[in-house]
A and B are shown apart, each in its own frame.
Chain A
């Protein structure tokens, strides 16, 4: 049948299994939105307040489900507003298809109104991108975009469609099935045998896993391997939720703000088995010091990650689940009681060394900030502290709730503390560290799953994209937003305290923003808590409500995220307490 390019886009999206798209209309996508209007019973479009929010929402949709997220924006500013969202997805390997309109082909290159070379702009932050200048190629280009986004290591793909291509008509043949991803890469047998030998020969193996385990659906295989070789596990930020937080072998996130026990166990290991992880500088600290004591087996789907940051003794490219399962069948079943005892010892050390991590700040006067954090009249046991807030939320939230964060101290506290139970229940911007990620991602995750969603955010991050409250309210998103409000940009402030002589340059917010009123103005519920009792009441009300609630939790401005490996530092310089 002869149909317009705009209709081909919508039909192809539906054909590819897309049920929800996020976006924002504009001059060069009016035709596309007209077709979305006509197809609204087959594909739902969620209008956000800003294109960045739409990109993060599509990202959240993809992270929560593993499906490809789709975002649509107009040319020029619409397209550039997607950039942060696309880069966020790229750094965290999230499958995304971004569709942008552009000026008609005849106007391209003339600096026309709202024209931008978005293919040029997004080249370094996409797996691949396309501009479609021939209507005949439109459907197959979109199919290829989906294929690239979900093949191998997932990632974002952008398709730029000039307006005249949306208007032009051509023959369209629907496909009965979504495109199949490229065939998986199987790890070479001899390399896995070598890996098995190294594991069998090791006395203190440690498993370091990353987001690849979630993307590759390898959680069960991972746990089976750890059990078989009797190894403790730690992970990168992106690996969180791949195994239950309370799993007896799991020591928590490692690295800059990771758990003491996982970072230490890794350092004392004689063999590190890195699975679906990329040795980010945040996970390793100082690279020269990092791998002094152990050998590395590195298995990843992306050959370019192998030995990119840290050289590995054995680098294996392959599908992570397949590789782990086959490896598991090759290794000997072992018990390593001495190593296990040492790891248990590290857990005890961790408890001892970090028990004061969050208590120091109440002891002194806060001189330098405007935050309403004077808690002298609140009994110590009732005061809000970050872990206390997170614990309380985890007790109220349903087991399958999706936990989303923004970026900063609250993100690290949530990563360290929240008891994750199932893969894809922790959505956070790891690689790019995008403040403002959370609102969009939470809306997208909830739209995709229908599940209760919790956003941990800070007053800084929330301020970046809080206009998406409008979207959440319109969509009736079952969302509890917990602001850990300390009146400062806490993560930077922490660095200023430790490394910049307490020069609190531009991190004290001095804002008069009333987040409760903000919430109410957007049509959400708003509640403020200054102590644990108020928090309990607020959480009960928020989780009983089916819509969006903002809970503004007032915390101290000098809470620190600990432990901390100082920038450029290593496990030798780990800070577990601020004196």
Chain B
């Protein structure tokens, strides 16, 4: 067991961070539409062209490395459908090559789906089966939404079934992918708010010197770091269902707590679109809703560990 990056992982992440620093981040997210962004096809292509979205199945790398890339993209507020392509397809649909971008949905949902209007492939799951659906322009209709991702309602569901029982693996990998995204988004939101409370003075002292502020942010930090390690461990463990559910359960908790607390301590400034915070925070309810749409991960964890209760 080793929590530090090894030299290869460091090199990969440095390269990915380099790309993200020039081609993602708050300025780029704003350029794409801020809290109602369009899909960043250029960024996806840059990462894909250098192989950074295909690490999960690559010799000498694996799903943990892919997870670190997904986390970095989320931390830099990248507007791409990275989890499905980097983790879920290689993990759950082993070896299949699907046209990107790939998106995930609960089969036949009438709810909005992240990136669906920009997707070439939809992987959907019902209780038992997973399906691969080729999407054509017009198969998904954009939905107005201000939670940091382009959302669309899907109208095409006919596709190839991957067989009975194929849904479980997709669900587990999906949980891992979103849990990793939550880790990245929560990290950036917390860093932003911690910077704010260090700089902002009221009553003649920094906000961050008040214990009432310190303790709540410290609790967020502990939750966020714990959830991050669980998500990365679940990726490393190839989405073992119990670990995937644990990571998702903790991510759901983090997404909630970090959302409310970072906004609370940013005051009215945090509500303004000129300030960066919302570029991350408004994504947290979206990611949380996506995890919960698969069924409560805590309940799924209980089912994996203790059976159906009968």
Q: Do A and B come from one complex?
A: no
Interface residues of A (CB under 8 A from B): none
Interface residues of B (CB under 8 A from A): none
